[in-house]
Structure formats: structure tokens, C-alpha cells
Amino acid sequence: MHLDEIEIIPIAAESLGVRSLCTMVRTPDVSILLDPSAALAKRYTLEPHPFEYQALRKVLDEIQAHVKEASILSISHYHYDHIRPGFENYLYNLCTRDERKKMFAGKIVYAKDNRENINTSQRRRGYYFLKDVGPVIGEIQWADGRSFSIGDTTITYSQPLPHGTNLSPLGFVLATTIEYSGLRFLFAPDIQGPTSKDTLAYILSIAPDLAIIGGPPLYLDQFSIGNAQSALFCLSVLAASIPTLVVDHHNMRGGDWMTWSKPILNACNETGHRLLSMAELAGKDEQYLESIRKQLYLTHPPSEDFLNWTHAPEEYKVQNMPPF
């Protein structure tokens, strides 16, 4: 997808079979890889299906290829579907202990500050991230509320935005705006809608031409009806304001997004705007593997070796690659 000379390449997301919002952005001045990670998780009491592990392996290979090209790696927050762990975990991440160091070696890094406006879990992860990669990176900049100019390209980070509602225990994330030649692309992962009216106001103030938004976690019981209504309102406002609105991530983990989002689609239709998934933006087939995991186990039964692996103790699964 191009916004004139801004090229936006969706790499990984729920609509592409994994948990992620990893995106590559190129301008004539810079290439920046946003949130270079992807992951899986247990759902419906089932471990990920072999198709999901295959999808994860594929996008991780693509992420590594884009890492080599990118001049900047950008980290919005420290959840492992947005940043690679610094330890071995074959169960949900397909990661090794040394992978993260190799990924960030020699790179310029713009990252969420690991000391301020951060919850305990992310502060711990951010501390170990810097401890791991600090000796090998080329440069790190805490990006909260800052702007960087590279040639004619401007990269602007929001102040920390809530990971969902204003009082979310999940902490904060950074939104990233990349501007070139008067056009703006906004990347706002894990804002869960947004559900926060303050986050909505921030996005509207940017007036992006294209935005990738982390949608609401409709599949979670603790995501209240009130939160869902707030997210629906905010997304409908964004749909009427942003020419191309991409909503993916948490919202694609359940099967009710297409019905739930009809008012948002109506707002797009009334203004001639577009509502897309990451897969649609990339021009690829959608594959919502997590949301159909139960069906996959029935229609495409895994091998006996794989099933035996799923029934092993968690410690074993973390340390041993699934036979997918």
C-alpha cells in the first residue's frame, strides 16, 4: 500500500494468522519496522493448531528479512506479540535466547520509555530488554512524546496512551505518526478501539490519511458492554474522519467482528472511506486461525506426535519445538 511516496507493508496480524501488528514503513529517507514480533496463545483450552505455528514461522521469517533492511526498529510497548522475548520459548513465541540480541545488533531503536508511565510487568520486561540489547544496539532513543526528523520525513510519537481504558492495568503504549510530503500514516497498536476518548482526540488531532488501529478485545469477558460501546463510538468517528482505516489485532480473535463492526462500515460508506484488515491492506487472503481453532482441530486433525506434544507438561513444550 502506498500513500504517494510512503510505502506501508503489513507483515503480521490476526487477519494473517498470528497475534501481531508488525508493519514496515518506507519513505525516500528511511525504513522503519514497527513492533517487530508475533506470537500465539492458548484459546478454548487448546494449544495453537499446526497451521498457526506454520503461520508464525512464516511471519517471523518475514520479520527477520525486514529487520535486515530497516534502519530503525520501533517498539510501542513490551508485550511479546510486539517485541521478541529474550529467552527460549517454543510454545507461543518460537524464540531462542539469542534471537533478540541478533535482531537489534547495530540498529537504531526508538522505544517506549521503560521507566516512566509504565506498569510493573512492562517495566520489568523493558528493563531486561535494555539489559539484553544495550551492549549491541547502535543507538536507543526513548520516544515518548518526541519527534525525529530524517531528511524530509518526520516520525512523531505520542505521549503514552492507555492500553485500552484510561485506567487500564495493562499500562501504556505509544502511537507513531510518519509524515512525508504532507501525508500522514498513523500506527496505534493496542489502544483497544480506542476505548479512551482522550486517545480518540489524539488520533483526530493527527488527521492521518491512513491509520492502523489496534481494535477492541471483544472476545474477553472482562471487556464490558460499556467499553464495547465506547470503542464502537470511537471507531465510527474515526471511520468518518480517516480515508483508510485499518482495524486489526484483538478484535480479530473472535468471530463476531464482522457483525459488530457494521456501524463502522456504514460510517465509511457514507464518506467514501475504507475499512480494512491488515490482510486486505496487504492484498492477501484473510486467515483468522485463532478464532477458528476449535474447527481446525476437527477438520484438520493434527498428527499423533503433535497431540502428544500438546499433552506434555508446559515446561517441556516451552523447551521443545512443536512437531508442526
Tens-place pLDDT, residues 156-167: 999 999 998 887
Q: What is the pLDDT of residues 68-126, one digit of tens each?
A: 999 999 999 999 999 999 999 999 999 999 999 999 999 999 999 999 999 999 999 99
pLDDT in tens, 3-29: 999 999 999 999 999 999 999 999 999
Q: Which domains does the chain have, with CATH numbers?
A: 2-317 (3.60.15.10)
d(CA 105, CA 94): 20
Residue closest to 67 by CA, chosen among 123, 140, 149, 11: 11
Please give the pLDDT value at position 237. 97
SS3 318: helix
Model-level pTM? 0.96
Cell 476449535 appears where?
Answer: 294
**Alpha-carbon radius of gyration of the chain:** 19
pLDDT digits (tens, 9 = 90+) for 88-102: 999 999 999 999 999
Could you tell me if 193 and 216 are in contact, meaning their C-beta atoms sit under 8 angstroms apart? yes
